[in-house]
Amino acid sequence: MQSKAKLRQRIFRAVSLLVFLFLSHSAVAQQASLIGNVINLPVVAVGTDAYQVELTLVEASSPIEVEVTSGVLLSGADTTGASIFDGTTLAIPSIDVDGIAYWANFSLLTTEPPTFVFIDAGVVGTDPPQSCVRPDPDPSHGTDNPQIIAGWAVPPSQVQDGGPGIDGIPAIGNPVFTQNFGSQAISDSTLVVGVKIGDEVRAYSHTVLDLHEVVNDQFIIDGQLEPVTINYCPLTGSAMLWKGKMTSVDPSFGVSGLLYNSNLIMYDRETTSYWSQMLEQGITNVERLTVPDRLQVIETTWGTWKAMYPQTSLLTTDTGFSFPYGFYPYGSYKTNNSLLFNVNNSGDGRLHRKERVLGINVGTSSKVYPVSAFGADVTIINDTVGDMNVVAAGSSLQNFAAIFNRQLEDCTTLEFSAIQGQLPIVMTDNEGNEWDIFGSAVSGPRAGTQLQKTNSYIAFWFAWTAFFTNVAIHQ
């Protein structure tokens, strides 16, 4: 998705290309007007520039769309009371419609041609626009002001030695991928961690992750090759994707051999600071309380993933290590009710300890959605957690679940419903947009829009309750 700065630059160019007319005399801001199917905006402030713009209603569009059909760059314009375009939203403070003054807001839909979609409107003075405040995800899963004991942001007495020692479980530093799936011993029921960034689609199977836990990789993000780290803890069943620091000499991570609440503690090779995977933050040294930039993953079965994304690449067992891939090192651990290490709140028996749950934290609210509780078909849940409106999408049969903020940047809150048989497209909304499993609008008036990632991931039930208190279970 393009940044606001890039969108602003493109709309500048698009408007300029429409007219190429520079007016040397000053213009005075006037009230916008609607005549027929044309909206005339005498002055639109765009950054430090001002334009006179003409918008034409797109016939039979629903929601209403308007297209820039004329634009004039103004010199010395008075922008008092002018319309404002900030790169995503066009705000018109006053527009005359049959003698009544309305305010109206439009969202940028496309840049070629420049087209906007109607958001909301009201009568000036009697129904003023409200400020838009969207609850954002917390910076991390950790407490805001944790007690620091002996330099640790978690109780050091609860940090346990997992056995192998530092790098005893070796991270993968040069991952090799293949699209010759028959060359790999992987079944359709094997769980994989799926990543889609731009056009690049990759799958990291539990078969490999069980024995390595960390994969240091690279993706092209916003046109730049950036370091990323896939991290997976087989003891807590939790998988995440973190962006590395571009400024680091060595942005990679390794496995420390330590555990907190039976969960993976990594270390970064730049500063040797420790990081709690499920808290998603640094817990010692110079990176203590640092929160990594996090990206969306989808954990599902290999059969579901390759059906959704047949163009995917698959992480191979060509790791440089002679490990018995396909052998699960913890016996019946994934299905039994026993634990190998001490954890907090181990007595919460509302669910089986190894039940896979999609959990989310919003402020002091914590809630889980058991993956097995979703319907066999794609199931959509419009919900509210804390002060955030969310949408959860999942299927017990196809074994996936994800949750997003369903309130958009312009504060529109969408209502979603399921789409069947079109994976990776899983849902539509009350505006007629269609969305995929990564929360991207693939069609409709908001095509290209990305739902906001939440503080959420899949983990075993015991792990979620060990880290977070007062957890609610979606019924």
> Is the separation of the CB atoms in 55 and 116 below 8 Å?
yes
| One domain for residues 405 and 458 | yes
Which amino acid is present at 462?
F
Count of the separate structural domains present in the chain: 3
Does residue 365 sit within a domain? yes
Dump strand ranges (E) for 154-296: 159-161, 177-178, 191-197, 200-205, 214-221, 224-233, 238-243, 253-260, 263-268, 274-276, 281-282, 294-295
Please state, rounded to an integer, the average pLDDT across all residues of the chain.
Answer: 90
**Bridge partner list, 453:** 404
* Predicted local confidence at residue 173, as pLDDT: 96
CATH code of residue 383: 2.102.10
| One domain for residues 88 and 39 | yes
Per-residue pLDDT reduced to its tens digit, 304-350:
999 999 999 999 999 999 999 988 999 999 999 999 999 999 889 99
Per-residue pLDDT reduced to its tens digit, 203-220:
999 999 999 999 999 999
pTM: 0.74
Does residue 137 sit within a domain? no
| One domain for residues 49 and 108 | yes
* Predicted local confidence at residue 419, as pLDDT: 98
| One domain for residues 292 and 416 | no
Does residue 386 sit within a domain? yes
| One domain for residues 88 and 193 | no
Q: Is the dihedral of CA 403, 409, 415, 420 positive or negative?
A: negative
| One domain for residues 295 and 195 | yes
* Predicted local confidence at residue 120, as pLDDT: 82
Q: DSSP for 243-259?
A: EPPTT-S---EEEEEEE
255, 287, 315: which is the final residue of a domain? 315
* Predicted local confidence at residue 60, as pLDDT: 84
291, 315, 339: which is the final residue of a domain? 315
Per-residue tens of pLDDT for the chain, all 475 residues? 344 444 444 444 444 433 333 333 333 346 898 999 999 999 999 988 899 999 999 988 878 899 999 999 998 888 888 899 988 889 998 898 888 888 889 988 888 889 998 888 888 865 544 557 787 787 778 777 788 999 999 999 999 999 999 999 999 999 999 999 999 999 999 999 999 999 999 999 999 999 999 999 999 998 999 999 999 999 999 999 999 986 788 999 999 999 999 999 999 999 999 999 999 999 999 999 999 999 999 999 999 999 999 999 999 999 999 999 988 999 999 999 999 999 999 889 999 999 999 999 999 899 999 999 999 999 999 999 999 999 999 999 999 999 999 999 888 999 999 999 999 999 999 999 999 999 999 999 999 999 999 999 999 999 999 999 899 999 8
79, 106, 123: which is the final residue of a domain? 123
DSSP secondary-structure letter at 376? S
* Predicted local confidence at residue 374, as pLDDT: 98
| One domain for residues 277 and 408 | no
> 3-state SS of 74-88?
CCCCECCCCEEECCC
DSSP secondary-structure letter at 439? S
**In terms of residue numbers, what domain contains 16?**
4-123
* Predicted local confidence at residue 21, as pLDDT: 30
| One domain for residues 310 and 444 | no
Does residue 138 sit within a domain? no
Does residue 344 sit within a domain? no
* Predicted local confidence at residue 13, as pLDDT: 45
Does residue 328 sit within a domain? no
* Predicted local confidence at residue 107, as pLDDT: 87
> Is the separation of the CB atoms in 259 and 162 below 8 Å?
yes
| One domain for residues 114 and 178 | no
List CB contacts of 122: < 8 A, sequence separation 6 or more: 102, 103, 128, 129
| One domain for residues 164 and 310 | yes
| One domain for residues 274 and 378 | no
| One domain for residues 310 and 376 | no
Does residue 281 sit within a domain? yes
* Dihedral-angle region of residue 182 (phi above 0 means left; psi in -120 to 50 means alpha; beta otherwise): alpha
Does residue 147 sit within a domain? no
